[in-house]
Amino acid sequence: MGIVLGPNQYGKAEVRMVHVDRSTPVHVITDVNVTSQLIGDFSSTFATGDNSAIIATDTQKNTVYALARTGGFSTVEEFALRLARHFVGPYPQVTGARMEIEQYGWDRIHTPDGAHDHSFVRGSAEVRTALVMKDGDDEQVISGVAGLVVLKSTGSEFWGFPDVPYTSLVETTDRIMATSVTARWRYTGVDVDWDAAFTAIRAVMLEKFATVHSLSLQQTLFAMGEAVLTAHPEVAEIRLSMPNKHHFLVDLEKWGLDNPNMVFYAADRPYGLIEASVLRDDAPPAPTAWDGVAGFV
């Protein structure tokens, strides 16, 4: 019996970078947080501290900045692929890479003269994400969104659940439904118009959230995932995590007031947590593409 090194990866986490495309007077800014990790044969440093195979995490950080300078920044997916391809190939000990990017939104400031060329206001807390897992020539791209906060003020019911011991929830045919969607979807290939796909998939999810008359958050989640897969053959599977951000009707009776679904208490915890993956039953699974994803999504 011996003790051996198991799966491992290393790199620089959370390289914060803002790229300014100044090719025209109308600047385009991209604000990202990049985590670069390499996979391969690095057993010598774990075993003995022999670093001869180690491309320093500092070098990985510098490479993020350098590639943005030399090749610009178009989309999180394209940049993550470019970064992975930079490291996987030239160095025999590097057999794979895991590149994860979060992108924060900035909107142009609108003045009376219109959208400003080079002044921005930070957008919502919504984050666009990309995860590239490269293993030799195999490349898996998982795109996503986190913090997509949505609410519908009617069109949501919850009833028909069993009255088991300790059940006290009252059935409702009209409630607020709100959630913060975290979603990641895996593409079948890498020949994708990343921006167009992201925009369309986000729009499909929002449309379904709005238009499904919901009998449960679970039903809404599945409908959103199903709609994405139906509209996007280039997507193999989608995982969704949706907290049920409860809004409780405030009892105003003791002050002689009724409350016909108008005044709610927005609770922050505890919250229901509904999570599922929705997939094509004929799509080849790629479980390792999801390695290192913390939590369900």
Binding site per annotation, positions for O2: 57, 244
Stretch that binds ligand URC, among 47-55, 104-112, 124-132, 214-222 (CB under 6 A): 214-222
Q: Which residues are catalytic?
A: 12, 57, 246
Smallest distance, ligand URC to C-beta of residue 219, A: 8
Closest CA to 187 of 237, 261, 149: 237
Which tokens hold the place of 113?
């003269």
Query: How many whole angstroms separate alpha carbon 34 and alpha carbon 17?
Result: 8
Using CB under 6 A, count the residues that bind ligand URC. Answer: 7
Stretch that binds ligand URC, among 37-45, 188-196, 201-209, 211-219 (CB under 6 A): 211-219
In the complex with ligand URC, which residue's Cβ is closer, 188 or 214?
214
In the list 86, 102, 244, 245, the residue contacting ligand URC (rule: CB under 6 A) is 244
In the complex with ligand URC, which residue's Cβ is closer, 11 or 225?
225
**How many beta carbons lie within 10 A of that of residue 77, not counting itself?**
25
In the list 79, 158, 198, 209, the residue contacting ligand URC (rule: CB under 6 A) is 158
Interface with ligand URC, residue 179, by CB under 6 A: no
Query: How many whole angstroms separate alpha carbon 161 and alpha carbon 147?
Result: 29
Interface with ligand URC, residue 218, by CB under 6 A: yes
Interface with ligand URC, residue 217, by CB under 6 A: yes
Which tokens hold the place of 171?
């059935």
Complete edge-to-edge strand list for the sheet that includes strand 114-135 = 10-21, 28-40, 94-111, 114-135, 138-152, 177-187, 235-244, 272-279
Smallest distance, ligand URC to C-beta of residue 216, A: 4
Contact 184, 297 (CB under 8 A): yes
SS3 282: coil
Binding site for ligand URC (CB under 6 A): 158, 169, 216-218, 244, 272
